[in-house]
Copies of this chain bind each other. A is one copy, B any other.
Amino acid sequence: MAISVENFFLDSRSQATLQSRIQQMIAQGILSGRLRRGEKLPSSRKLAAHLGVSRITVTLAYTELVASDYLTARGRSGYYVSENAPEPLPAATLHTAQDRVDWTRAIGQKFTGGATPDKPKDWARYRYPFIYGQADASLFDHANWRLCALQALGQKDFAALTSDQYDQDDPQLVEFIARHTLPRRGVVAEPSQILVTMGAQNALWLAAQVLLTQRRRAAIEDPCYHALRDVLTQSRCHLTPVPVDADGLPPDLIPDGTDVIFTTPSHQSPSSATMPLARRHALLERARQMEALIVEDDYEFEMAFLRKPSPALKSLDEDGRVIYVGSFSKSLFPGLRLGYLVGSAPFIREARALRASVLRHPPGLMQRAAAYFLSLGHYDALIRRTSQAFAERRQVMEAAMAKHGLTIAGRGAHGGSSFWMQAPEGVDTEVLAARLRDRDVLVEPGRPFFAAEDPPRNFYRLAYSSIPAERIPEGVARIAAAIG
């Protein structure tokens, strides 16, 4: 197939002859890497018609380019980019040279430089990936997901899913969340209290934007999910990190005057502590006293394979004070980018308006495919299968860690997918992680989870959500050896 004529434009500013402008245009395309060796050029007739020049001008330009070995002519079949054409220039030469904008000045708000670390994008190539938050393709129900997506792609659903939904969600997904997902967490909500989001990240972000300003005060757990700290730092509110203990966030330590409390009661992130019932009531009472709101990130509640999960904090909320964040990205797969926000209707209304402004709505196709997967029971089956695998992996891991004398700093009472680990004093787990990467092992250093400028450096996280059970003993042995 020839390169389409629509790729070619003459430089209207140039004073050069038509023929040399055509030559420049093509040579530039080759040098910039847009036109590649072996690709066919449009016929001289077509290009001439497109550019509004005579055919002979194009032919002369082509002939010149053949002479300089940018192009080759192959008899009747036309002109091709020559195999001897010059290598494309490095992009820097082409672009930054011509950039005359002072970007330091032009950028009004910076968003780079947060606490969230760069994670290895090639994690799946490692043999011992104790990496957190990725899907395990071997556990996922690929066949049924495909069938559900196919059904959502069917003619019947097409109109519903391809329209601009303005600020609305797929009613089938919202209905399922209201009737099946939330009741399992003891939460009652109607559709006007539910907003579908692009994963939990997006839900937390929306909540922060609606509730916080530069004058408001937020409290977060310390350590906590680094991406949440980034979101709150960007919001420019007054932010207080509150050190967690073995029962999670201690209500007494939340400073007076706090407007919004961000917490992970089911499963503290990253320490995995579960907040006991008495403390939950105390937390709600503390919030009531201060007229504060609570944003509850109920992540990973599905992975409760050791004992029944406690109901969500939201289920104890009599005041409409708790805003609840759930996600399908962890339990289905992260690339799905589907979560939800549950709260009182006035709050959801604002979050919906903001979401519409930022991105309109999560794609209808993804919402409907998930709704089918959930309502046909595949999701529950997946959770059961994943739970069984995780339970086994966790056992193997506990045995291996005991054998090698590794110290567990926190583990989920109900299950979960990771351990929060403590290396001996003096071990810098960022150095440890780098060393282990060379030994085919991925672990997650703990530093980015802490708020302090000079945080403890000897914590790390080991997840078992992406590593097969049989590789765990050797992986743990390598970690122990690297620490030792």
> Which residues of chain A have a CB within 8 Å of any CB of chain B?
4, 6-7, 9, 12-13, 28-29, 32-34, 50, 91, 94-96, 98-103, 105-114, 116, 118-119, 121, 124, 133-135, 137, 140, 142, 145-146, 149-150, 153-155, 158-159, 161-166, 168, 178-180, 183-184, 186, 188, 190, 192-193, 198-199, 201-202, 205, 209-213, 216, 227, 230-231, 234, 259, 277, 281, 291, 293, 308, 311, 315-316, 318-321, 329, 333-337, 344-347, 349-351, 353-354, 356-366, 380
Are the CB atoms of B168 and A121 closer together than 8 Å?
yes
> How far, in whole Å, are A303 and B292 apart by their CA atoms in the complex?
52
**Apart from A9-B311, A109-B209, A199-B360, what are 7 other A-B pairs with CB-CB below 8 Å?**
A7-B183, A91-B192, A107-B350, A108-B213, A111-B357, A142-B155, A365-B366
Q: What is the CB-to-nearest-CB distance from A132 to chain B, in angstroms, rounded to a whole number?
A: 10
> How far, in whole Å, are A28 and B315 apart by their CA atoms in the complex?
13
Q: What is the CB-to-nearest-CB distance from A311 to chain B, in angstroms, rounded to a whole number?
A: 5
> How far, in whole Å, are A347 and B159 apart by their CA atoms in the complex?
36
Question: Of the candidates B50, B135, B361, which one forms a contact with A163 in the assembled complex, judged by CB atoms under 8 Å apart?
Answer: B135
**A6 cross-chain contacts in B, Cβ below 8 A:** 183-184
> How far, in whole Å, are A101 and B32 apart by their CA atoms in the complex?
59
Are the CB atoms of B103 and A359 closer together than 8 Å?
no
Top 4 closest pairs, chain A to chain B, by CB: A164-B334, A99-B320, A162-B333, A103-B346
**A205 cross-chain contacts in B, Cβ below 8 A:** 357-359
**A366 cross-chain contacts in B, Cβ below 8 A:** 363, 365-366
Decide yes or no: A198 and B99 within 8 Å by CB, A9-B186, A9-B315, A188-B34 being known contacts: no
> How far, in whole Å, are A114 and B350 apart by their CA atoms in the complex?
11
Are the CB atoms of A201 and B308 closer together than 8 Å?
no
Count of this chain's copies in the oligomeric assembly? 2
Q: What is the CB-to-nearest-CB distance from A187 to chain B, in angstroms, rounded to a whole number?
A: 10
Task: Give 16 CB contacts A-B under 8 Å.
Answer: A4-B180, A4-B184, A96-B344, A99-B320, A101-B319, A101-B320, A107-B347, A108-B210, A108-B211, A109-B212, A137-B159, A137-B162, A149-B365, A202-B359, A205-B359, A336-B365
Q: What is the CB-to-nearest-CB distance from A25 to chain B, in angstroms, rounded to a whole number?
A: 10
Are the CB atoms of A183 and B334 closer together than 8 Å?
no
> How far, in whole Å, are A227 and B167 apart by their CA atoms in the complex?
12
Are the CB atoms of A337 and B361 closer together than 8 Å?
yes
**A180 cross-chain contacts in B, Cβ below 8 A:** 4, 7
> How far, in whole Å, are A432 and B251 apart by their CA atoms in the complex?
58
Q: Across the two chains, which residue of chain B brings its CB closest to A351?
A: B111
Most buried by B among A114, A124, A321, A350: A350
Q: What is the CB-to-nearest-CB distance from A122 to chain B, in angstroms, rounded to a whole number?
A: 10
Are the CB atoms of A106 and B211 closer together than 8 Å?
yes
**A201 cross-chain contacts in B, Cβ below 8 A:** 357-360
Are the CB atoms of B188 and A124 closer together than 8 Å?
no
Q: What is the CB-to-nearest-CB distance from A127 to chain B, in angstroms, rounded to a whole number?
A: 16
Decide yes or no: A162 and B336 within 8 Å by CB, A142-B155, A211-B108, A360-B201 being known contacts: yes
Decide yes or no: A107 and B211 within 8 Å by CB, A95-B193, A134-B163, A357-B231 being known contacts: yes
Are the CB atoms of A321 and B100 closer together than 8 Å?
yes
Decide yes or no: A335 and B363 within 8 Å by CB, A103-B347, A108-B216 being known contacts: yes
Are the CB atoms of A335 and B192 closer together than 8 Å?
no
